[in-house]
Chains A and B, each alone.
Chain A
Amino acid sequence: MRDYERYIRYRTFPSPWCPGCGDGIVLKAIAMSFSELKIEPDDIVVVSGIGCSGRMPTYFNTNTLHVTHGRALTFATGIKLARPEKTVVVISGDGDALAIGGNHLIHAARRNIGIKMILINNGIYGMTGGQCSPLTPQGFITETTPYGNIEPKFMASELLIACKASFVARETVNRMKPLRDVIKKSFQHKGFSVVEVISNCHINLGRRNKMKDPLTMCRWIAGRTVTQAQYDKLAPEERDHKYPVGILKEDTERLEYSELYHKHIIPGAKEAAQKAGGHNE
């Protein structure tokens, strides 16, 4: 058994994912990052919401919590604040994190609470059968946009940076080594971190848009993958079709929320209580 397999809960297999799905690659990259950082499985909790990505925690041999649609970050916030020394990971999809869970994402980033989020972006609601998501590219055919999607997608990274997120990165399922490295790096970051992973859903997105097999879809992703330097040189109208990869923002100065609370607020409150003689009405 390789060391990262300690973090895999084989008893719960098989997974519900379609053959060729990128979710398995992300699962392995996360397990390998746990292993490389030698975190004890019981010191980890992996939380997820609903969707294909939502099923991932079931397969980690760590503490795992599968919750309601879009709300994983709220549960993770409670856990992190209650036990700041633990490693709290959230796995989410683009629909889960950016549609129904958009509000929670904004505020987790703003607070800089030490949750490590993996945002798997396949541009579609896969589990429910292929409906349009906020990150479905414009013009694409889905089950709820049968005449083409008229809504523009947006870049999760740009939203997160605007919300003062302290670690934002993007990778794709085509690039296992850089993906593993950036996930590991994000796990070492103290504040709120998001690694967006561009993934393939050839079954529910590709199939309706002339990319019905995983290879075609992964080549399409590869054709859109650029470095940040290449992205910066592009004209604004060209940027819409590209995904810059790598670490897009890293701020190690900002204090993590639970650390700020436990090391600053609590001692301050205790001191104030002593001065007031314990009086609080």
Chain B
Amino acid sequence: MSKRKVLQGNIIAAKAAVAAGCNFFAGYPITPSSEVAQYMSKELPRLGFPFIQMEDEIASLGACIGASLAGRKVLTATSGPGYSLMQEHLGMAEMAEIPLVIINVQRGGPSTGLPTKPAQADMMQARWGSHGDYPAIAVYPAFADEIYSETIRAFNLAEKYWCPVTILMDEIIAKAHEDIEIPDTKDISIYSQKDNVVKDLNIYDREIGEKPPRVDFFKGYPIHVDSLEHDAHGWPTIEPNTVHKMQTLRMQKVYHYLDDIIAFNEYNMDDAEIMIFSFGISARSSLAAVQLAREQGLKVGLFQALTIWPFPKKQLQDRFKRIKKVLTVEMNMGQMMNEVERVSTDDVEKRALLRANGIAFTPQEVLNAVKEFYK
């Protein structure tokens, strides 16, 4: 039976993680995400699972990767400064193909920035934060029920594509206490790689585009996992053809399945003349602005990205065939705005409502920008 509750966003995410089968957490306290760690420190041992507070965020993600290789479903939670430190091991998890979920409750930056104020400024870090080429997956809930469903989806994506997944949140939805209907566990669909297990030492031996099988230690055949570029055995290599194949394998395990990975919501898009592109808390202000605009007879719609990375390129390009005005609304100095620019043609007029001062947009502010666009 589902349960109706008033819960903080961070707690909703933590509850969803447990429902998704998370059975290991390693983390380091940081505002505004600490409630996730606090909840897990109390809940996981009740279920018989380990929780550990590490000495920093680098160590936290290291412990998560270790536990993941030992067969656990792992989670960590952090904010911008910690996410910066985690980039080292995010790259390692991409390289060695380790499933894990990171919650990044963003705050104002750069550096230690605005610890208690919201921002949507880690968008590009979630894509390009670590060195080298890799196919990042990041999701971005906006509403309380989406925090729950996107957390479940993040675990499923990590399991399915055997890679790290970032859940981006902003301080407002993570800290706000909201009304939510927690679904019954039997109504939650959990993806499991249980039957798709590596059977020998060739842990990375697969065709390009093929989904990776699960790779774990202690399965009866001692394997090698490496942060160095490796061959099908996982052993270090610099042989150019092998390196090229491995680079392609890692990219294409995600890019072959975009339709499965990319999720979004649309509001009032059928007859829209202006499309707002937004996500997270800015999408909530934008949705309210759309409703205000519609009351005034303005044909405005909202495209709310739930999957931020990979970017919903094909979906936006479809909309641009008909809609020739797009307004990007985001709490930063212009990050996803450039992605919208990249995927659109010159006949699409692009504008952006940007701010990074720690104050979220009000619906009225978004509405004013829409009206300005109409002129």
Task: Please report A residues at the B interface, Cβ cutoff 8 Å.
Answer: 9, 12, 41-45, 47, 57-58, 61-68, 71, 74-83, 86, 103-104, 106-107, 258, 261-262, 265-266, 268-270, 272-273, 280-281
Contact = CB atoms under 8 A, between A and B. Distances in A.
Interface residues of B, number: 49
B150 to A, nearest CB: 21
B43 A265 contact: no
B24 interface: yes
B63 A45 contact: no
Lowest 5 A-B CB distances belong to which pairs? Answer: A78-B66, A74-B62, A78-B63, A269-B45, A82-B70
A9 B234 CA distance: 13
Contacts of A280: 39, 42-43, 46
Contacts of A103: 55-56, 59
Nearest to B65: A75
A66 B65 CA distance: 12
- Please classify the interface of chain B as helix (H, G, I), strand (E, B), loop, or mixed, using the class held by over half of its residues: mixed
Contacts of B66: 47, 65, 74-80, 82
B64 interface: yes
A68 B24 contact: no
Contact of A265 (B7, B45, B228): B45
B221 interface: yes
A66 B225 CA distance: 6
Interface in B211-243: 217-228, 235-236
Contacts of B48: 266, 270
B54 A81 contact: no
Interface string B58-102: 111111111111111010000000000000110010000000000
A74 B63 contact: yes
Given A41-B222, A68-B92, A82-B66, A63 B217 contact: yes
Contacts, number: 150
Given A68-B92, A269-B45, A280-B43, A78 B11 contact: no
5 contacts: A64-B223, A68-B227, A75-B62, A83-B218, A86-B217
A79 B55 contact: no
A62 B218 CA distance: 9
A12 B62 contact: no
Contact of A64 (B11, B26, B225): B225
B50 A66 contact: no
A104 B55 contact: yes
Interface of B: 5, 7, 11, 24, 26, 39, 42-43, 45-46, 48, 50, 52, 54-56, 58-72, 74, 88-89, 92, 217-228, 235-236
Nearest to A261: B50
B218 A42 contact: yes
B55 A63 contact: no
Contacts of B223: 63-64
B120 to A, nearest CB: 28
A173 B75 CA distance: 41
Contacts of A44: 222
Given A71-B89, A77-B54, A81-B52, A107 B59 contact: yes
Contact of A71 (B59, B221, B224): B59
Contacts of A45: 70, 217-218
A116 to B, nearest CB: 15
A42 B43 contact: no
A79 to B, nearest CB: 4
B93 to A, nearest CB: 11
Nearest to B70: A82
Contacts of A42: 218-222
Contacts of B235: 12, 58
